[in-house]
Amino acid sequence: MRITLGGLFWLWSAPEVNAQPQGSTGLDKGSLASWQYARRSVPDITRTYEDCRRLTVTGQQVGKLQMFSNTQIDCVDGESAGLEQRWASPAASKRASSRNGVAARRNRHGDPMSKPNQASSNKPVVGVIADLKMLGHHPFHCAGNKYVVAAVDGADTFAILLPAMAGQQSIEQTLDLVDGLMFTGSPSNVEPRHYGGPSSAQGTLHDPARDATSLPLIRAAIAAGVPVFGICRGFQEINVALGGTLHQKVHEVPGMLLHREREEDPLEIQYGPAHQIAVVPGGKLESWYGKPEATVNSLHNQGVETLAPGARVEAVAPDGLVEAFSVKDASSFAFAVQWHPEWQFADNPLSVALFAAFGAACRDQQARKQGGQTRG
């Protein structure tokens, strides 16, 4: 039997089973059998499942499915690598078609989908750092869709993927190519050897190729005045690159809040409001956002232990953990946040302000490179 799910082709023969997944009423027999087959093949399939039309699997599990041409892989922070496709039921197709013209489109779980926008051949170029992940038996350079969409639609830039290939592609050419850099979240932790920390607990996921690519690139970009925006792991990378240290497990530090998500919760809960932050008066964040506090999501194990010498605190959590910082002597945008502003960014004034500021800095950098004048 061949099932086509939004451009992803899977071939299998699905045996009969008895139980239907929760919320599966009204499914045709073929769709139900397909879901049940995948459920047995990939035991940890998605925490949430709506009308059996969405399927998410972790990167390690992708190899258990037979995937053929026209495959789209989205390595999602939150914190897994995933595939997302819809069951092609008539009702779902009709609803999807009715939303195609809406400016801010989302899939069923709230992840942003790039909206149709006016084409431009002169948008600033933002390099989005990639993770190096094993999907099945092969390594892939992956970036979460939500970060790319936020760069394209939130910052109004032209996004490209930067592979984690330290030493094989020059930093100088990379900086000549881009007008800004985004260092995204990821399931992996920065290796503690980069900041003199103790060895990680057994089973901790690391990405040495990304570390080797990001850390020197961050330092070079800031020195060259190229805008840099760090999110979650990217926040931690910038701190480490500039000489700071990290807590590997914030939840085990006495007096700290629980900053990590519960993996069994649906994504809308994981990425929902978690705690307040206090915005430091007189900082860059206050100038962009204009309010003394905000409520943010929280999906991280690591956190700042010692802030890098050249960094300035921009926001803190109620337990005192640094949630945002800027780089003091940077000549352009050099900013990082511990939370995830890319998640449903268009609905959050703080996220809108952050991506607008980043986009403006990228346009200024583009103008400088082209010999134009920067805005005041």
> Which are the catalytic amino acids?
232, 340, 342
Strands 180-183 and 125-129: parallel
What is the three-class DSSP state of 192? helix
Q: Which of 370, 372, 365, 368 is nearest to 178 (CA)?
A: 365
DSSP labels for 77-93? TTT--B-------HHHH
Q: Which of 39, 48, 21 is nearest to 263 (CA)?
A: 48
DSSP labels for 91-158? HHHHHHHHHTT-SSEE-TTS-EEPPP----S-PPEEEEEPEEEEETTEEEEE--HHHHHIIIIIS--E
Residues 6+ apart with CB under 8 A from 162: 127, 128, 129, 130, 174, 178, 181, 213
Cβ atoms within 10 A of the Cβ of 214, count?
Answer: 29
Q: Which of 149, 147, 130, 148 is nearest to 139 (CA)?
A: 130
252: DSSP letter:
G
Alpha carbons 367 and 118: distance in angstroms, whole number: 20
Residues 6+ apart with CB under 8 A from 106: 112, 113, 344
Alpha carbons 208 and 212: distance in angstroms, whole number: 6
- Cα–chain center distance at 372: 32
What is the three-class DSSP state of 249? coil
Question: What single-letter amino acid sits at 203?
Answer: G
331: DSSP letter:
S
Residues 6+ apart with CB under 8 A from 82: 56, 57, 58, 59, 74, 75, 76
